[in-house]
A and B are shown apart, each in its own frame.
Chain A
């Protein structure tokens, strides 16, 4: 069914989030604050979660077990799948891949280059299956490690090889949990410390409220609700901008299509100037306009404020800079 993009209903969107942080900072408890979670405790670390915050869990010992458990009838009562940790999930996937085909492994038991590629693709397939077919929120927990980069110390997710790139790709959000004084925070914006991922208005560093004996563990539940509320607003705003952008491009192309000679090119200047632009339509149309001017062999006459035919002997030289009202982008054509 082909749908109108302006009718996107974002309220129902499931969310994929990556949570990273040092061991012991409370990532698992935070992950279990998502709506109706199933704790896929690959790390066997549920004993480190306070009993009152524990949720139904499985402790698969192989990737085959993960796949066997994640079928619709088993998980119909859950809204979120919490993979804890993603690094350990990759380890299980690696063993599964090598067992499936020895060429995915090396003599020392680690993955071969081909194996990394295979496991990366399997990760994306699993995420797509959980998200699109099972229709669940996904929380992927990772340990963070420090890496020196010149004078900076950066936080990275702990996972082997290029697979970390595959991990980030499907995520809607990715945040690093850190302590600031006595406060636990999660940061979703890129900064000197880490590369994170914030979308739909979820950005910056957000304080995670301390859990008291009576307070509910619902930080991610609230965050997901906020995400969807912001998404609805953002989609509305973006669709307006996108519509204005497409309208500007359509009008601009219509004007440019009328340019066939000097007279029509000069007539187009005012018409191009009258277009209401959105996003980068001004620059994009400017490039098309300039290409057409060049194709017609015209140059801009600053004094007369209009285009003229390029003298034959200088036709190949750089044209003069066009006026601000004309959509020209030839300001920097090299150096003397």
Chain B
């Protein structure tokens, strides 16, 4: 078996963000989206921001509620309970992978799904500034629907701590992720970053 390279939606997302935000930025400046992408490419640990911590805390509360140990006095309890009710009975934190070939490379598309249940992939988001359609350009649902071909749809369960909104994407209306991966690999080659990718993202 030849070498395989991991590909995650986070890596693609980081790249797309860099392209969208700052396409002409050089790669030396600090704290810009391209620098952030390069950090992701080198798999450097990302410091947990306050927003990230809120998301983690909310997901933990959802899990605790499902395990029957959720703190009912928590300010987010009602919203987390609503999310827990939706994903209850499904597989939480389900790891899935699918091998594909792109530009002559064996790519292992990998994802950790928040929940998988009866043909639906769920992802829990905590967002203080949610607008319906926020995830329309996300690489997450195209990636995960490729990884789990039996899934019919992908639903983002978005909460601000008091309300819960559902944003669903059906398989038939979801764009193929392969062209994005092709563009990404082409860009890495052009920017002479392909070796960095192959070094840090080599799969077992």
Residues of A within 8 A of B151 (CB): 279-280
Point out the residue from B20, B152, B204 that lies within 8 Å of A279, measured CB to CB: B152
**Stretch of B52-60, B63-71, B92-100, B187-195 with 4 or more beta carbons under 8 angstroms from chain A:** B92-100
Point out the residue from B91, B97, B173 that lies within 8 Å of A203, measured CB to CB: B173
- Mask of A278-292 contacts with B, CB within 8 angstroms, 1/0: 011011100110000
- Mask of A158-174 contacts with B, CB within 8 angstroms, 1/0: 00001011111100000
B132 touching A195, Cβ below 8 Å: yes
Residues of B within 8 A of A133 (CB): none
Q: Does B118 contact A (CB under 8 A)?
A: yes
Q: Does B183 contact A (CB under 8 A)?
A: no
Is the contact region of chain B dominated by helix, strand, or loop, or is it mixed? mixed
**Stretch of B33-41, B72-80, B164-172 with 4 or more beta carbons under 8 angstroms from chain A:** B164-172
> What's the nearest-Cβ distance from chain B to residue A235, in Å?
14
Query: Given that A150-B20, A332-B97 are contacting pairs, would A284 and B91 also be in contact in the complex, using a CB cutoff of 8 Å?
Result: yes
Residues of A within 8 A of B160 (CB): 162
Count A-B contacts at CB 8 Å.
107
Point out the residue from A120, A164, A280, A284 that lies within 8 Å of B132, measured CB to CB: A164
B130 touching A162, Cβ below 8 Å: yes
Which chain B residue has the least Cβ–Cβ distance from A204?
A: B173
A331 touching B97, Cβ below 8 Å: yes
> What's the nearest-Cβ distance from chain A to residue B62, in Å?
18
> What's the nearest-Cβ distance from chain A to residue B65, in Å?
20
CA distance A279 to B116 in the complex (A): 10
Q: Does A2 contact B (CB under 8 A)?
A: no
B108 touching A331, Cβ below 8 Å: yes
Point out the residue from A149, A329, A336 that lies within 8 Å of B95, measured CB to CB: A329
- Mask of B2-15 contacts with A, CB within 8 angstroms, 1/0: 00001000000000
Which chain B residue has the least Cβ–Cβ distance from A161?
A: B131
A335 touching B204, Cβ below 8 Å: yes
Residues of B near any A CB (own CB < 8 A): 6, 20, 43, 90-91, 94-97, 99, 108, 110, 116-120, 130-133, 136-137, 148, 150-152, 160, 162-163, 165-167, 169-170, 172-173, 200-204
